[in-house]
Amino acid sequence: MTGRILPPIPGTATIDSLPVAASARVTADVPEAPQELRSAPTGRTVEGTVLGRNNQGHLLVRTQAGVVNLATRYDPPPGTQVMLRLITNGATLQARITAMTTPTQAALLAASRAGGQPPAQNLLDAASLTRIWPALDRALATPETARTLSGARTKGSSAIPTAGTGMAGGLAAFLQALSAGEVRDWLGSALDRLAQADGTLARQLERDFGQLSQLAREPQGDWRVFAFPVAAETGVHQMRLFVREHDGEHPLPETTHHFIVEGELPALGEFQLDGLIQPGRFDMILRTRAALADSVQSDLTAIAAEARRTARLDGSFQLAAGPDWRMMAVPGQGGASIEV
C-alpha cells in the first residue's frame, strides 16, 4: 500500500485499521512534505506506510503523493500502516496519527478472519489477544465508550494501567481481576454503561477478558502468563507478564522469583524485560531490537536504580540491543505454542 488521500469525513473504523484513542494521538510537525499535501485543506486524511527514519531522525511515511517527514520520537516498525490527519496552523503543517496497524498486528488480524466470518464477529484466540485487543481499541476510539472506560476506577486506580509512576495500582487491580476471572472486578459499573452504549462491544470485551483470564489461571509449563493493557502516549498497548512457577520441571527456590515482561512501546520498540529477584538482590536485563537513545538509557538506568534503593536491594540493570533474542511462546488454539 503506497497511500491515498481520503476526504476529511469521519468514518467507521474497521478492524484492519486499529484506531488510536483520541486522547493519545501523536501530533508531529512536518518539516518536509509534497506540495500536494502542503496545499491540501486542513483536516485531510492521508493513508501511508512507514519506511523508517532519515539521517535527521525524522519518521518517513510514504503516501501516494510522496514521502512525508514527521518530527516525532514515536517509532513504529517499518511497514506499519498509518492514517495521518493533516493540520494547517499558519505556515506550519502538522500531522496527527489517528490509526495504525503494525505488520505483526496485520498478520494477527488476517488470521482472525479465518473461516470467512466478518472480522468484527471473529473471536481472536488468547495468544493473539496477548498482543492486540481490537475490542478495547474500538471502545477507546469512540468518545462515549472511551469516557466510560476512562472513568472506571478499580480500588482507586484507573481501570487501564497508565505508563508512568502511577502504573502499579492499576496493574495490580487488573491482574487481580484477571486471576479471579471477574471482568466486573475490573470495570465495575462501567461495564453496564458500556453495554447500554454498545452491547455488542461490551459482550466482546467480556469474552476476550474471559479468554485472557483462563490463560492466566492455567500455568503453561514452568510459566504463568498474564496479558494486560497499558495506556501510553500513542494509545493502548498489550503487554505480557510471565511469572516462573515453582512446581515446574525445573522449579526455582521459593525465595527466588523470575519474571519477564515483554511488549512493544513507542520509546522502546519491541522489548523484553527479564527480572530475577533473590534474597537481597534484584537483577534486570532489558532487551530491545535496536540500541536506545542515550537519554532513554540514562532514564531507564535511573529508574531501575531507584527501584532497587526503594526496595533496599542490591543488583544490576543491563541493556542489550540486537536481533538475537526471541519473544516468549504463548499457547495458541489447539495447544500449539506460538511466539508473539
Asked if pLDDT for residue 85 goes beyond 80, the answer is yes
Asked if pLDDT for residue 322 goes beyond 60, the answer is yes
Asked if pLDDT for residue 13 goes beyond 50, the answer is no
- Rounded mean pLDDT, 193-220: 89
How would residue 22 be classed by pLDDT, with cut points 50, 70 and 90?
A: very low
pLDDT, position 125: 75
Does residue 64 contact residue 29 with C-beta atoms inside 8 Å? no
Asked if pLDDT for residue 3 goes beyond 70, the answer is no
pLDDT, position 253: 58
Helix (H) or strand (E) holding 285: strand 281-288
- Cell 467480556 sits on residue: 206
Q: 64-68, 134-138, 244-248: which range is least confident on average?
A: 244-248
Residue 232 CA to residue 162 CA, distance in Å, equals 6
Asked if pLDDT for residue 226 goes beyond 90, the answer is yes
What the block records as the C-alpha cell of 196 is 447500554
Asked if pLDDT for residue 71 goes beyond 70, the answer is yes
Q: Could you tell me the residue ranges of all domains in the chain?
A: 4-101, 104-339
Asked if pLDDT for residue 123 goes beyond 70, the answer is no
pLDDT, position 237: 85
Return the sign of the alpha-carbon dihedral for residues 172, 275, 238, 221.
negative
pLDDT, position 222: 80
- Pairing mode, strands 314-321 and 281-288: parallel
Does residue 68 contact residue 60 with C-beta atoms inside 8 Å? yes
- Rounded mean pLDDT, 110-125: 52
pLDDT, position 276: 92
**More confident position, 309 or 156:** 309
Cα angle: 14, vertex 19, 20; to 5 degrees? 175
Name the percent of the chain lying above pLDDT 70.
76
Burial class (CB in 10 A: 0-12, 13-18, 19+), 253: exposed
Closest alpha carbon to 248 in 220, 219, 222, 216: 222
Asked if pLDDT for residue 122 goes beyond 70, the answer is no
Residue 17 CA to residue 337 CA, distance in Å, equals 27
Which tens digit of pLDDT belongs to each residue from 228-284?
Answer: 998 876 678 889 999 986 544 555 556 788 999 998 887 787 899 999 998 999 999
Asked if pLDDT for residue 211 goes beyond 80, the answer is yes
Which tens digit of pLDDT belongs to each residue from 154-181?
Answer: 555 567 887 765 677 778 888 889 988 9
- Rounded mean pLDDT, 38-58: 86
Cβ-Cβ contacts under 8 Å for 287 (sequence gap 6 or more): 271, 272, 273, 274, 320, 321, 322, 325
Asked if pLDDT for residue 142 goes beyond 90, the answer is no
pLDDT, position 157: 56
pLDDT, position 127: 79
Query: What is each CA distance from 23 to 143, 149, 150, in whole angstroms?
Result: 9, 13, 10
pLDDT, position 115: 47
Asked if pLDDT for residue 326 goes beyond 50, the answer is yes
pLDDT, position 289: 84
Does residue 220 contact residue 130 with C-beta atoms inside 8 Å? no
pLDDT, position 197: 86
**Which residues sit opposite 261 in a β-bridge?**
241, 273
Residue 186 CA to residue 189 CA, distance in Å, equals 10
Q: 210-214, 253-257, 290-294: which range is least confident on average?
A: 253-257
